[in-house]
Chains A and B, each alone.
Chain A
Amino acid sequence: MKPVLDKHRVAAVRRPEMGFKEQIYLVEVWKGLAITSRHFFVNLYRHVQKALGRAGLAGAVTTQYPEDGQVTKHRSRTRHRLLKREDGTPRCVACMLCETVCPAKCIYIKAEESPDVMIEKRAKSFSIDLGLCVFCGYCVEACPEDAIRMDSQYIQFPGSTRKDLIWDMPELMGDKPKAPSMETPKDPLSPGAE
């Protein structure tokens, strides 16, 4: 089937059909095991080489996120911050340029009248869904008020539900800490759950 572009130039592409080889399962499961084993032995070899003090490529390391710190590059773009004016009010004037330019459509702004006539317009609510964000930085570039910036290196914003990844205005401005809820979501099948 030829994919048809809709008005947003988004095409629905169907998954490839499974053939006989895929349907009998055994071949594919062996393929998967082969990949896993290859990674295991390559990494084992690299770690052994390192332990023996020989030069070579580094082996893969698993980090315990978010408990253990993780170092990213200095130029990395991470979570957003909303900036304030000198008097503490948000700089954002709800012009919707970041919302418009956002390729992931993860910024949601509602506008209202500002009490200050020289500012005229401000954001009533401003939230970013970091679960959808692709960290491209276009919002920072688009902002005419320097109201939004992105952190570097700070990547500790885990969430255990999708909702946990939506940051609202006080959280983005730093007025309210975003407490990562580390509770595991309730398993409806486990005993004791409603």
Chain B
Amino acid sequence: MAKLVKFKLDGKDVEAPEGQLVIDAADKEGVEIPRYCYHPGLGNPGVCRLCVCEVAGAPKPQMSCRTTVKEGLVVSTNSPAAKRAQAASLEFHLANHPLDCPVCDRAGECELQDYYQGYGLYKSTVREDKRHKEKRKSIGPTVVLDQERCIQCTRCTRFLDNVTKTSEMGIFGRGDRSVVDVYPGMEVDNAYSGNIVDICPVGALTDKDFRFSVRVWYLDRAPSVCTGCARGCAIEVHTNTERPWHTEGRRVARLKPRFNPEVNGWWMCDEGRYSYKSADSDTRLKASSRLGQDGAPVETSPADAAKGIAAELTRLVAERGAQGLAFVLSGTLSNEDLFAAKALIAKLGVPAANVALAPGPEQLGEADDLLRRAEKVPNLEGARALGFDTARPLTELSPDRFWGVWAVDRAVPAGWDKLPFTVWQGPNAVRFTGAARWVLAAAHCFEEDATAANFQGRLQRLRQAVPPLGDSQPDWAWFGSVLRALGGEFPHQDAASIFAALTAEEPAFRGLAFELPDEGVLLAASQPAGAAA
């Protein structure tokens, strides 16, 4: 830890560690300095010259992203000289920028637009014609490049050089002829390509998936957590609910990474980024059903389904015993869901050995050393902390031993569907759904308030972005309503109340509040695996 030194920032006495960048120290003090090239995750090449400020004693304006804090430094970010230097820099950035904001997807969240309002030179002195470069160039499966709009901040090239280390892009040419482009024969097709769109301060890089679908100022934002893998990247869910015709009725328009220094930094992978479509896909279950006499599914209300399942369970458990019932749970369940499931399993008296929770083959995938984890489920650690055995795979259970199975959000292999009692619960119809006796529509992860613990044991909050579709309800509501119909105790009506009970009963969650901080909380050391559920 560097020693703290005192310096003056805009006439105010400020303390910061020696050697810290002035721009970082200013950010901490809430003093906004405009910047394009500087990104805390990508370093400070000092190419945009926009973050200039006046430093006492220096003959010329200094870049705040290249100046370090030292004792007695006097920095002014808003003096007339600093303002003039910033406006002059911005004038250069706009010299060749096409100003095609009406057709630019970035309009509304563009840093060029924002800074022009705050720091612009409203009377440009540039009289020359703008230089024309290539527009609408596809540089990969996810990204479109517009060279005219680029201001050569080099954030994208530095991201590809330093973060993904794939180096597909570079700056070519000199002066006003310089362009950003992909190297010949290459395309930006790495697993993190979507991030270069997020970090681009202007509209030079746009997302093919999002392009022209909806204007950014129509979007509502909810901070949540990606459920694509065990990393649990902090994300923002952007939803378009007021003008559904733009996204063809899809409510979730896109996902953006949210800064969490402990989990994902500034980034997220493409797999997670484009996984949002499952929330509004055709496979979403909007109503629950049971198999009728003729083998065709009959739609049922949630209350009737809970009652019907409870009646069948009561009869079968009395006739054939609770050890004949298997629970195939999934790491996609939140802690609140698992808490309710645990209560239901305890009420029925199902032995812990009948619960399979290890990720199935369809829940395993590619991993790398940047963000992606092999287990494509978000809450395995939470399940472990709640006392579930997260290592027992479904293949360890043989359908011959059982009379019934309750599967959640998992593909279940053949053999299980022949049992007299089958429940399949989940947001999207996957295999087994067609043949299950009861199909319960569950809410999608963007539709519920919940908590999930990632592979580090870091507990994060998921926040509801859109209401549950149709008759679907959160998984805990299904477990809870069946539990209530069986005569059990389940007084909770929302996730906050379940979490309160969870913190009271589970040692790993003791003392936590449902409103978790943005970066999450590390769970207390979890119980040894394999404890009775």
- A118-B135, A120-B135, A120-B136 in contact; A113/B102 too (CB < 8 A)? no
Docked Cα-Cα span, A144 to B102, in Å, equals: 7
Hey, which chain B residues are within 8 Å of A97, CB to CB?
102
B66 within 8 A of A: no
Asked whether, in the complex, the Cβ of A121 is within 8 Å of the Cβ of B245, the reply is no
Is B217 a contact of A112 with CB atoms below 8 Å?
no
Flag if B212 contacts A117 (CB, 8 Å): no
Once A96-B215, A112-B212, A113-B212 are accepted as A-B contacts, the answer to whether A145 and B102 lie under 8 Å apart by CB is yes
B100–A120 CB distance below 8 A: yes
Cα A80 to Cα B102 with chains together (Å)? 20
Cβ-defined contact, A110 with B245, below 8 A: yes
Q: Report chain B residues within 8 Å CB of A118.
A: 135
Specify which of A99, A117, A118, A121 lies most central, judged by the most chain B CB atoms within 10 Å of its CB: A121
B103's partner among A99, A100, A108, A120 (CB-CB below 8 A) is: A120
B212 near A94 (CB under 8 angstroms)? yes
Contact B136 A117 (CB under 8 A): yes
- Of B213, B218, B246, the most chain A CB neighbours within 10 A belong to B246
Instruction: Give every chain B residue within 8 A of A95 (Cβ-Cβ).
Output: 101-103, 107
**Given the contacts A93-B103, A95-B103, A121 and B212 also touching, CB distance less than 8 Å:** yes
Contacts of A100 in B (CB 8 A): 215, 217-218
Residue of A nearest to B107 (CB): A95
What is the total number of residues of chain B having a CB less than 8 Å from a CB of chain A?
A: 16
Q: Kindly name the residue among B100, B103, B215, B243 whose own CB sees the greatest number of chain A CB atoms within 10 A.
A: B103
Q: Does A111 contact B (CB under 8 A)?
A: yes
Proximity bits, B202-226, A CB within 8 Å = 1, else 0:
0000000001110101100000000
Mask, B74-107, CB within 8 Å of A = 1, is 0000000000000000000000000011110001
Instruction: Mark A77-116 against chain B: 1 for CB-CB distance below 8 A, else 0.
Output: 0000000000000000111110110000000101111000
Q: Is the CB of A110 within 8 A of B102?
A: no
Task: Chain A residues near B212: list those with CB within 8 A.
Answer: 94, 111-113, 121
Min CB gap B208→A, angstroms: 10
Q: Which of B176-227 contact A (CB under 8 A)?
A: 211-213, 215, 217-218
Task: Report the bound CA distance from A111 to B215 in whole Å.
Answer: 10
Measured CA separation A55–B136 after assembly (Å): 70
Asked whether B135 lies within 8 Å of A121 as measured between CB atoms, the reply is: no
- Min CB distance B110 to A, Å, is 13
Tell whether, in the assembled complex, residue A93 and residue B246 are in contact, meaning their CB atoms are under 8 Å apart: no
How distant is the Cα of A126 from the Cα of B213 in the complex, in angstroms?
A: 14
Within 8 A of B (CB), among A9-47: none
* Least CB separation from B135: chain A residue: A117
**Who on chain B is nearest to A95 by CB?**
B102
Considering the complex, give the chain A residue whose CB is closest to the CB of B248: A110
CB-nearest residue of chain A to B211: A113
Q: How far is the CB of A74 from chain B (nearest CB, A)?
A: 31
> Looking across the interface, which residue of chain B has its beta carbon closest to that of A118?
B135
Question: Cβ of A120: which chain B residues have Cβ within 8 Å of it?
Answer: 100, 103, 135-136
Contact B102 A93 (CB under 8 A): yes
> In the complex, A144→B101 CA distance in Å?
10
Looking at the assembled complex, report how far the CB atom of B98 sits from the nearest CB atom of chain A, in whole angstroms.
Answer: 10
Chain A residue at smallest Cβ distance from B132: A118
B103 to chain A: closest residue by CB: A121
A93 / chain B contacts, CB cutoff of 8 Å: 102-103
Tell me how far the C-beta of A109 lies from the nearest C-beta in chain B, rounded to whole angstroms. 8
State which residues 20-57 of B face A: CB under 8 Å: none
Which A residues lie within 8 Å of B102 (CB)?
A: 93, 95, 97, 144-145
| B245 contacts A108, C-beta separation under 8 Å | yes
A191 to B243, CA, bound (A): 41
Contacts of B107 on A, CB cut-off 8 Å?
A: 95
Q: Which chain B positions have C-beta within 8 A of A111?
A: 212-213, 246
Q: Mark B108-142, 1 if CB is under 8 A from A, else 0.
A: 00000000000000000000000000011000000
Once bound together, how far apart are the Cα atoms of A96 and B212, in whole Å?
Answer: 10
Q: Closest CB of chain A to B100's CB: distance in Å?
A: 7
B83 to chain A, nearest CB (A): 29
CA distance A99 to B245 in the complex (A): 12
A83 to chain B, nearest CB (A): 15
Chain A residues whose C-beta falls within 8 Å of the C-beta of B218 in the assembled complex: 96, 100
Partner of A110, one of B103, B136, B246: B246
**For the complex, what is the distance from the CA of A110 to the CA of B240, rounded to whole Å?**
14
Closest to A125 in B: B245
Roughly how many angstroms separate A111 CA and B210 CA in the complex, as a whole number?
Answer: 12
Map CB proximity to A onto B302-340 as digits: 1 under 8 Å, 0 otherwise: 000000000000000000000000000000000000000
Chain A residues with CB below 8 A from B103, complex form: 93-95, 119-121
Residues of B within 8 A of A112 (CB): 212
B residues in contact with A121, CB < 8 Å: 103, 212
Query: Chain A residues with Cβ under 8 A from B136's Cβ?
Result: 113, 117, 120
Q: Knowing that A97-B102, A99-B243, A111-B213 are A-B contacts, what are 15 other residue pairs whose CB atoms are under 8 Å apart, sorted by A's residue number?
A: A94-B212, A95-B103, A95-B107, A96-B218, A110-B246, A111-B212, A113-B136, A113-B212, A117-B135, A117-B136, A118-B135, A119-B103, A120-B135, A120-B136, A144-B102
Q: B residues near A, CB below 8 A?
A: 100-103, 107, 135-136, 211-213, 215, 217-218, 243, 245-246
Q: List 16 A-B contacts (CB under 8 A).
A: A93-B103, A95-B102, A96-B218, A100-B215, A100-B217, A108-B245, A110-B246, A111-B212, A112-B212, A113-B136, A113-B212, A117-B135, A117-B136, A120-B103, A120-B136, A121-B103
Q: When A and B form their complex, which 4 residue pairs have the shortest distance between CB atoms, in order from nearest?
A: A95-B102, A121-B103, A111-B212, A96-B215
